[in-house]
Amino acid sequence: RGPANTQSGHAIMNKDDRFYYEWSLVNSASTAQNSVSNRKMLPCLKCKKTFSNPQSLKLHQRTHEDLKAYHCTECGKCFSSLQGLKLHNRTHTGLKPYKCTECGKRFTQSPHLKSHMVTHTGERPFLCTTCGKRFTQSSHLRSHITLFHVVNHSTCCYI
């Protein structure tokens, strides 16, 4: 199952639609948990998305500004950050610098590779705190909550 000391992470969505990523150090003798959920979460006042540090919140808030100073020369799409434009340019160039070591599939962004990796590990890090069902992607968890716990106001779903 791997080395004696490994790190694993589990993203959990609470009833307020906020994600918390919980990391734990797993040791053969004991388990120590250090939960990010103990940190103060900073909400964006426009969309209610939360952040664990002020720098991330400030960078995110730029996405809500009308001023989008970075323009794509290929298609004219506008961005509020240079990084956003650089990532977008990969759709035109076909550059996919992130490669899966298991199957060779390539990705334009490292988070896309990271979410892909669960297809090889079988890990389901996103937990519904209402019913306990786990998911491989946060979007699947959000859909599940909308379908089974928000729309129907149900407290249980069929797993």
Domains in the chain: boundaries: 46-95
Tell me how far apart the alpha carbons of residues 13 and 131 are, in angstroms, rounded to a whole number: 12
Does residue 146 contact residue 138 with C-beta atoms inside 8 Å? no
Chain segment 106-153, per-residue pLDDT in tens: 999 998 998 899 889 989 989 999 999 999 888 899 999 989 988 545
Sort 90 into a burial class: Cβ within 10 Å, 0-12 / 13-18 / 19+.
middle
Return the percentage of the chain with pLDDT > 70, whole number: 69
Cα distances (angstroms) measured from residue 13 to each of 18, 125, 145: 5, 10, 9
- The strands making up 126-128's β-sheet, listed across from edge to edge, are 31-35, 19-26, 6-13, 126-128, 134-135
Tell me how far apart the alpha carbons of residues 103 and 15 are, in angstroms, rounded to a whole number: 36
Return the percentage of the chain with pLDDT > 90, whole number: 31
Task: Judge whether residue 67 has pLDDT over 80.
Answer: no
Q: What is the CATH number of domain 46-95?
A: 3.30.160.60
**Model-level pTM greater than 0.75?**
no
Locate all alpha helices (DSSP H) within the chain, ordered by sequence. 54-61, 82-93, 110-121, 138-144
Q: pLDDT tier at 14 (50, 70, 90 boundaries)?
A: very low
Please state, rounded to an integer, the average pLDDT across all residues of the chain: 74
Tell me how far apart the alpha carbons of residues 41 and 2 are, in angstroms, rounded to a whole number: 33
Chain centroid, CA 35 distance in Å: 16
